[in-house]
Amino acid sequence: MRYPSFILKNAVLAGAVLALLAGCISVPPDTNKPAGIDLAARAQHAPAIQLPAAAWPAEQWWLAYQDPQLNDLVARALKDNPSLAVVQARVAGAQAIVTAERADEGAAVGLSTGLNRQRYSSNGFFPAPIGGSYFNDANVQVRASYDVDWWGKHRSLVAAAIGESNARQAESAQAAQAIAATVAQSYFRLQMLWARQDNVNALAAVQREILAGSKARIAHGLATREQQAGAELDLGVLEEQAARLATQALREREVLRALVGGDAQALSDLARFRPAPAANALPRELGMELLARRPDLQAARWRVEAQLGRVAASEAAFRPDINLVGAFGLDAVSLGKLLRWPSRTPLLGATLDLPLFDSGRLKAQLGVARSNRDELVAEYNETVLAAVREVAQEGATLQGLDQEARQHQAALDASRKLVDSAEARMQRGLLERAGVLQAKMTLLRQQDTDLQLLDARLQTQVALVKALGGGYHAAQTTVSNNK
């Protein structure tokens, strides 16, 4: 059977167009997808790390220390904090981008009007009486368009913007928890410095009594000058230590004042208070729960989600972009005729935007998007493992400090009994005052060690709370389907 030549030509042309379209919409294969790891299985600490209670931190974990001063300082630090203001501004900016991306979706309707007065050339295309005369041109038009988004490009961009917004919100929570933890650690450090300073001053007071006793014995020929020199040296060391602790306390006070954003008199009424450790707690299992309770992990995860949306949008850019356009307007050469029915100018059409040749720009953009995705996935996996390591380290340290504190308590109790025994013997005339003073010196030194252990326990407790997410729990937020 013989076909007319024009049918064959049209068939060939249609086949060429279809082949061209098929080539244009071919997306390069993704040959370098990152291999995932079993995060839930790896997000565990060693079974040997066990604390008395199995629990996650409360949202306002600092209340467990029952210290009104600490509660007030944390509240002041979280209010109008410059660091939080910066993060919150970024959250607002990310949310604005979400709104902008959503605004590009769907239908758009607009109204345009115009009024012109123009003289047509006497030597132009139009002869007289048009040529050489002035005419008015008035028009009004309502125009509507609709982006069909066949391939989900806009949906993917919206999903990417939502992912970035959620990441910013998680970063805001991370900043707030970091500020609260830093304030608590600074406050505890200041209180411990004050407590140690008082203890060293008590040591110096006892040493002065020892020195006075040495001078009295020298006067009666019962001691040597070397013993007095040794007592004076010990007193000088204690006074130097007291001065060093006072300087450190002053520096820490300024750090704390800066954290709460106070003026020169902000902490003038801060009273000395010996904090007591809160109940130690470490969840028996971490797993997926840790991933939901660490704001930094949530921020990293949402950035991966955002990048997946950008990859999907880059892939959709290879497909043709089809838009529907419709308009209805009026156009006339005089205002008097503008609103008449013959002046109508209806329009209905569709536009097709198809990339044919762009020197590899689309492939390059897709390659960059996929590479960024791979990098973010790797960083997320690394962050998860680092978080587990941080929890394990702080938990193991706190467990060891608890054991050390229990063992030191025995030495402290023995020192107290030694002081009581020495005082009783002195009252019965069986021991001189110098023996009681030496027993007190031993007790005070044991108390200084106890204060250092308490400081380490408080610092590690806060570090563990921060490692466990500081009471944060991710909201159940979803994004649009990127595929």
Residue 482 pLDDT: 44
The answer on pLDDT for 23 being more than 60 is: no
Highest mean pLDDT (candidates 145-149, 177-181, 278-282): 177-181
The answer on pLDDT for 3 being more than 50 is: no
Residue 481 pLDDT: 47
Q: State pLDDT tens for residues 324-366.
A: 777 877 777 766 777 778 777 888 877 777 777 666 788 888 8
- For 24, 56, 57, 246, 318, the CA distances from 61, given in Å and listed in that order, are 57, 10, 6, 29, 51
Q: Are 385 and 42 in contact (CB under 8 A)?
A: yes
Residue 332 pLDDT: 74
| Residue range 29-50: mean pLDDT, rounded | 67
Confidence of residue 90 (pLDDT cuts 50, 70, 90): confident
Residue 219 pLDDT: 64
| Residue range 267-296: mean pLDDT, rounded | 87
The answer on pLDDT for 483 being more than 50 is: no
Confidence of residue 41 (pLDDT cuts 50, 70, 90): low
Q: Are 444 and 416 in contact (CB under 8 A)?
A: no
- Give the contacts of 214 (CB within 8 A, at least 6 positions apart): 223, 227, 228, 231
Separation between Cα atoms, residue 437 and residue 344, nearest integer Å: 110
Give the domain 41-105+149-318+355-467 fold: Outer membrane efflux proteins (OEP) (1.20.1600)
Least confident of 47-51, 197-201, 393-397: 47-51
3-state secondary structure (DSSP) of residue 483: coil
pTM (predicted TM-score): 0.79
Measuring CA to CA, which residue among 393, 30, 317 is closest to residue 150? 317
The answer on pLDDT for 464 being more than 70 is: yes
Residue 42 pLDDT: 65
Residue 239 pLDDT: 92
What are the residue ranges spanned by the domains of the chain?
41-105+149-318+355-467
Residue 105 pLDDT: 67
Verify cis geometry, omega within 30 degrees of 0, for the bond prior to 129: yes
What is the strand order of the sheet 106-119 is part of?
106-119, 134-147, 321-332, 347-353
Confidence of residue 476 (pLDDT cuts 50, 70, 90): low
For residue 467, give both structure tokens. 């490692």
- Distance from CA of residue 396 to its chain's centroid? 25
| Residue range 168-190: mean pLDDT, rounded | 92
Measuring CA to CA, which residue among 135, 468, 120, 478 is closest to residue 285? 468
